[in-house]
Structure 1
Amino acid sequence: MHYPVILYDLDGTLIDTNELIITSFLFTLEKHCPGRYTREDVLRIMGKPLLEQMKYFDEDQAQEMVKTYHQHNESVHDELVREFPKVREVLEKLYKAGAQMAIVSNKRRKVVEMGLKRFGLDQFMQEMVCVGDTSQAKPAPDMILLALEKLKASPEQALMVGDSRYDLLAAERAGVDSVAVGWSLHFDELKSYRPTYIIQDMQELLDIVEIPKVVQGESE
């Protein structure tokens, strides 16, 4: 196996939380900053830690806006979140092949766990690093390095799979190869951050990791 350790961002990578996030932002912004921001403004800053995002919109109200966002996000989470095609199937094959896998997310642990459990993906993850577990979130390398420490792995053994520039920058700074997913809302932007690989289908990850065809469910 070329990459025995695989790290994943969650939102926009394994599960489709795009509408959940955008809806939660628009609800929050309309409550605290009515008429000032649009969907396009939200798309521009997606991927950063939540408090940092709220400070971008209104530094004085940022803390209260985070609370509003959390409350709304959790209330509509299961209704709006979706699973991307082939994710569960691929994770199961990687797990059975012996890959060690972990989530590295700029979200709170509670909501990460909600998303994973919603689609039964938690069973495939050995570790989880969430916002607050390190002094700096992505794009700093700290969260990836902590995940590697937990998994007792070196950067050379690992692959980071993500949908934002923050994932790719964090991977580069941690000395880890990266995969940009083609279903990212920011895909055109990602190419300029020089990911090691680009995939358009989750199934392609099996070939990058070099899972044997027999494990993939194909004949040799």
Structure 2
Amino acid sequence: MTDDPTTAVLFDIDGTLADSNYPHVDAWWRAFHAAGQPVDAWRIHRCIGMDSSSLLDELVGSADSDVAKQAKEFHTAYYREHFQELHILPGVHDLLEEVARRGHKVVLATSAPEAELAILRELLQIEDTIEVVTSGGDVEQAKPDPGIIQLALERSGADPDHAIMVGDSKWDVIAAGRAGVAAIGVLSGGISEAELREAGAVAVFDDPAAILAGIDDSPIGQLGA
């Protein structure tokens, strides 16, 4: 008789657990203007959830340019102005507690840099529930590269067939798919259900509260069954 396999649910944070995507859009929009290379807000929103280097490559041509370096510094300063406005999304605490109650490891798998992650963890107040944390600083390139997901699996001890990723952007879904992990999408980051499903999401919910309400019939409810 063998032990049951380790199961894990990996959660993105920005736009998934915290209502923070639009503050990021505002901060980047202001940052690009301040750096002298304006970028339309809708283009920025399309890239939220990417590794910051990938975002800068996409929006200003190169993450190594002087404009990109200035914009990154401005973004940090402007995003800090939003800290008091950030809040968690409905159902977060109850969902994570229910995931843990069902015997799954709760993992934070985010592209956020360490400084932003510290703020988000303080906001979430879920340290007793979290078992594993990874961030953009743990890998050379974050989402949509699968490295963050693969590291989260390694640290949690779960294999791809016994894990679920929950994220709000197509970059979360694509990264999970490249790591062989099924993904649930949430609409709370502002990306449509159609686009999340096209990226490979096996289910889509409005927000964490909606996942909790339908958890028995969700991929999380079937995890380890």
- Whether TM exceeds 0.5 here: the answer is yes
- Secondary structure of the residue aligned to 1:203 is helix
**Match 1:9 to one of 1, 9, 12:** 12
| 1:52 is aligned to 2:57 | no
- Secondary structure of the residue aligned to 1:42 is helix
Question: 1-side partners of 2:6 and 2:213: how far apart?
Answer: 14
Question: 2-side partners of 1:189 and 1:33: how far apart?
Answer: 32
| 1:101 is aligned to 2:110 | no
Shift of 1:121: 2.5
* Structure-to-structure mapping, 1:13-52, within 5 angstroms: 13-33=16-36, 36-52=38-54
- Is the 8 Å Cα contact of residues 20 and 73 (structure 1) preserved in structure 2? yes
- Is the 8 Å Cα contact of residues 3 and 159 (structure 1) preserved in structure 2? no
Shift of 1:9: 0.8
- Secondary structure of the residue aligned to 1:91 is helix
Residues 1:8 and 1:156: Cα distance change in structure 2 (over 3 Å): same
- Is the 8 Å Cα contact of residues 174 and 200 (structure 2) preserved in structure 1? no
Question: 1-side partners of 2:112 and 2:178: how far apart?
Answer: 20
User: How many positions carry a matched residue from both structures?
Assistant: 209
Deviations 1:63-88 (A, max 9, x none): 121111112212322x2212111111
TM-score (ref. length: structure 1): 0.86
Shift of 1:62: 0.7
Deviations 1:143-166 (A, max 9, x none): 111111111111111000011111
6-15 or 132-141, larger mean C-alpha shift: 132-141
Deviations 1:153-197 (A, max 9, x none): 111110000111111111111111110113331123212123122
User: Runs of 5+ in structure 2 lacking a partner?
Assistant: none
Whichever residue aligns with residue 137 of structure 1, its letter is A
Whichever residue aligns with residue 17 of structure 2, its letter is L
User: Runs of 5+ in structure 1 lacking a partner?
Assistant: 212-220
1:206 corresponding residue in structure 2:
215
Question: 1-side partners of 2:57 and 2:175: how far apart?
Answer: 22
Whichever residue aligns with residue 212 of structure 2, its letter is Q
Whichever residue aligns with residue 7 of structure 1, its letter is L
Whichever residue aligns with residue 155 of structure 1, its letter is P
- Secondary structure of the residue aligned to 1:126 is strand
TM-score (ref. length: structure 2): 0.84
- Is the 8 Å Cα contact of residues 196 and 204 (structure 2) preserved in structure 1? no
**Match 2:125 to one of 120, 126, 138:** 120
Whichever residue aligns with residue 206 of structure 1, its letter is I
**Match 2:201 to one of 187, 191, 195:** 195
Question: 1-side partners of 2:111 and 2:214: how far apart?
Answer: 22
1:218 corresponding residue in structure 2:
none
1:214 corresponding residue in structure 2:
none
Whichever residue aligns with residue 193 of structure 1, its letter is A
Whichever residue aligns with residue 47 of structure 1, its letter is G
Quick one: percent identity of the two aligned structures? Answer: 22
* Structure-to-structure mapping, 1:100-179, within 5 angstroms: 100-179=105-184
- Secondary structure of the residue aligned to 1:118 is helix
- Secondary structure of the residue aligned to 2:56 is helix
- Is the 8 Å Cα contact of residues 3 and 157 (structure 1) preserved in structure 2? yes
Question: 2-side partners of 1:38 and 1:173: how far apart?
Answer: 29
